[in-house]
Chain A
Amino acid sequence: QQQVKQSPQSLIVQKGGIPIINCAYENTAFDYFPWYQQFPGKGPALLIAIRPDVSEKKEGRFTISFNKSAKQFSLHIMDSQPGDSATYFCAASTSSGTYKYIFGTGTRLKVLA
C-alpha cells in the first residue's frame, strides 16, 4: 500500500514531442505529489508538485495531471528538448508525520535531436 508504481521504465521521443510519464498509488493518505528530474551523477531537482485539490498544474513546459478517483498522476513535458534527457521520479508523501517520500522507480527519458 506504500508503493508508488511508475511507468514506463524508459522512453524515447523526438525533439518537440510530448513524453508522458505515469504514476499510480494506493495509499489514500498521500496528499503531496512531487516530480523530480535527475541527471547522471547529480542529485534530484524538484520540477513541479501537486496536491489533490487540483486536477492539473502547469509550470513552464511541465504539466502534472492528477486523477484523485483513479489514484493516478502523470507528468507531461511539452515541446521536449534534448536537454530534457534525464531520469524522472515521481513521489508521494503525506502532509503530516515524518513527511517521508515514497519514490517511484524512475523513468529514463531520451529526447532525440
Chain B
Amino acid sequence: GAVVSQHPSRVICKSGTSVKIECRSLDFQATTMFWYRQFPKQSLMLMATSNEGSKATYEQGVEKDKFLINHASLTLSTLTVTSAHPEDSSFYICSARRTGVRETQYFGPGTRLLVL
C-alpha cells in the first residue's frame, strides 16, 4: 500500500510554455500533499504544502503565481509551472500524507522537467 504516482515522468518543453504535473495517491486518501524540487546531488527543497479543498501554502521564496498548485480531490494534486524558463528545469517530486496517519509522507517517482 501507499503508492504515489506522478505523470509525466519526464517532460521537455519550450521556454514560455506551461507544464502541468500530476500527483496521485493510488491506494489511499491524502488530505495533504507536498511538492518538492530537487537539484542534482542536493537535498529536497519543499516548495509548497497542498491541502484538499483549500489554497496551497508556499514556502518563502517560492512564487505562487509561477508554480500553481491545485488539490482538487483526496487523491490528486497538480503542479503547473507557468511560463517555464530554463532555470525552472529540475526534478519535481510530490509526496502524500495518508489521511489520519500522522506524519509519514509517501513519495512519488518524480518528474524531470527540461525547459529549452
**Residues of A with C-beta under 8 A to B106:** 46
| Cβ-defined contact, A101 with B105, below 8 A | yes
Specify which chain A residues have a CB less than 8 angstroms from the CB of B8 in the assembled complex: none
Are A34 and B49 in touch, CB under 8 angstroms? no
Given contacts A93-B103, A101-B46, contact A42 B97 (CB under 8 A): no
A103: which B residues are within 8 A, CB to CB?
A: 43-44
Across chains A and B, the number of contacting residue pairs, with CB separation under 8 Å, is 58
A32 to B103: give the CA distance in the assembly, Å. Answer: 7
Q: Mark A47-87, 1 if CB is under 8 A from B, else 0.
A: 00100000000000000000000000000000000000000
Interface size for B (C-beta < 8 A) is 25
| New contact pairs (14) apart from A41-B112, A43-B109, A104-B43, CB-CB < 8 Å | A34-B105, A41-B91, A49-B104, A89-B43, A89-B44, A95-B103, A98-B32, A99-B102, A99-B103, A99-B105, A101-B105, A105-B42, A106-B41, A106-B42
Taking Cβ atoms with an 8 Å cutoff, the residues of A that contact B are: 32, 34, 36, 41-46, 49, 89, 93-95, 98-101, 103-106, 108
